[in-house]
């Protein structure tokens, strides 16, 4: 059996199209003959069942997390699409707003134990610790943004926050741990401005820790999808973001594609029917299939300008 691949789809802010892309990318994978599990891990406002056109479930991720008897497999629901099952989001949103460490570890272990070819996780917006941890544990972390300033700014913030979270999880040296705690909790102007600056400072504290973090920085390569694109200028924002992440963060952000603003997409969402099923030959559907191919092949768009 081929190794399972976990995709985690996140965004710095709500309303950029995470659930839209999570649902349709999952369908694209399933239509190619892969077994796929789609998980709604947006505990602040689960809505994948709406995007998939399925009824709200009486059993959900929160039931699994709180139960000693249930397995994650036990809550998976048929979607009516061959090869694709759904783990519906938490219904008691207030009670599931923040997972504790034991619940989070249980959830991650269960996700990794699923026997499907692909697991696609739709994460909540923002930079809560459990959102960052689920993003970082995935084989492929995918960021969705829209071509408008607040969305772009929040994507940069997510990249920086997730990288800092990654560093804190791998550091063992007490002096370096203390340094990381100080700079992530305080807003000191003397703090390192970027992850690359941070690695340099840590190397001065402990050479081995610095080398470890350089290795982790090189491995940290999230993907970027631009949604709701209207103009060629919007498309170029993706290239600008990859260049900025490399220059200022030292992070390789792979621009894997964009989806144009399309009334067909809006209609499909209103009809609670994924665009890949509702309008399989549309520009949006073709874009999503191409994005899925780029992610699977680890291919990023190249700026021809």
Give the pLDDT confidence of 233-280 residue by residue, as tens digits.
Answer: 999 999 999 999 888 888 899 999 999 988 888 888 888 889 999 999
Give the number of C-alpha atoms closer than 13 A to the C-alpha of residue 177, restricted to the C-beta side.
6
Q: Which of 71, 79, 27 is nearest to 53 (CA)?
A: 79
* CA gap 6, 218 in Å, rounded: 20
- Give domain status of residue 106, yes or no: yes
Contact of 199 with 207, CB cutoff 8 Å: no
Q: Minimum mean pLDDT among 118-122, 170-174, 275-279: which range?
A: 170-174
- Give domain status of residue 171, yes or no: no
In this prediction the pTM is: 0.90
Q: Minimum mean pLDDT among 107-121, 147-161, 181-195, 222-236: which range?
A: 181-195
pLDDT for the residue numbered 12 = 80
pLDDT for 226 beyond 60: yes
Which domain, by its residues, includes 289? Answer: 5-144+260-296
* CA gap 138, 151 in Å, rounded: 22
Name the H helices within 174-228. Answer: 174-185, 195-205, 207-219
- Give domain status of residue 201, yes or no: no
CATH of the domain at 27: 3.40.50.300
- Give domain status of residue 178, yes or no: no
pLDDT for 192 beyond 70: no
- Give domain status of residue 197, yes or no: no
Name the H helices within the chain. Answer: 18-31, 48-52, 61-66, 101-113, 129-137, 149-170, 174-185, 195-205, 207-219, 232-244, 263-270, 275-278, 283-296
- Give domain status of residue 191, yes or no: no
- Give domain status of residue 232, yes or no: no
- Give domain status of residue 238, yes or no: no
For the chain, what is the domain count?
1
- SS3 category, 82: coil
Residue 142: what are its φ and ψ, rounded to 5°? -120, 125
Q: What is the pLDDT of residues 26-50, one digit of tens each?
A: 999 999 999 999 999 887 677 788 8
């Amino acid at each position: 059996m081929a190794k399972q691949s976990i995709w985690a789809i996140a965004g710095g802010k709500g309303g950029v199209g995470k659930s839209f892309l999570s649902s349709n990318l999952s369908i694209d994978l399933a239509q190619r003959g892969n077994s796929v599990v789609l998980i709604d891990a947006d505990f602040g406002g689960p809505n994948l069942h709406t995007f998939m056109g399925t009824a709200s479930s009486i059993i959900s991720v929160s039931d699994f997390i709180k139960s000693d008897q249930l397995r994650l497999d036990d809550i998976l629901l048929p979607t009516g699409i061959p090869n694709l099952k759904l783990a519906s989001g938490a219904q008691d949103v207030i009670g599931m707003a923040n997972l504790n460490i034991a619940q989070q570890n249980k959830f991650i272990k269960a996700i990794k134990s699923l026997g499907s070819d692909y697991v696609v996780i739709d994460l909540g917006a923002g930079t809560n610790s459990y959102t960052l941890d689920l993003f970082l544990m995935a084989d492929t972390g995918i960021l969705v943004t829209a071509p408008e300033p607040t969305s772009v700014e929040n994507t940069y913030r997510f990249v920086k926050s997730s990288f800092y979270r990654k560093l804190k999880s791998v550091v063992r040296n007490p002096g370096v741990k203390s340094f990381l705690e100080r700079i992530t909790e305080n807003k000191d102007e003397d703090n390192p401005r970027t992850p690359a600056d941070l690695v340099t400072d840590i190397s001065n504290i402990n050479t081995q820790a610095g080398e470890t973090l350089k290795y982790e920085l090189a491995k940290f390569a999230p993907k970027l999808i631009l949604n709701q694109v209207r103009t060629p200028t919007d498309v170029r924002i993706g290239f600008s973001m990859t260049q900025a992440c490399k220059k200022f963060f030292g992070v390789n952000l792979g621009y894997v594609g964009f989806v144009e603003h399309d009334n067909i997409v809006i209609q499909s969402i209103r009809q609670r029917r994924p665009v890949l099923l509702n309008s399989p030959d549309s520009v949006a559907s073709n874009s999503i299939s191409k994005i899925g191919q780029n992610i699977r092949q680890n291919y990023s768009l190249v700026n021809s300008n």
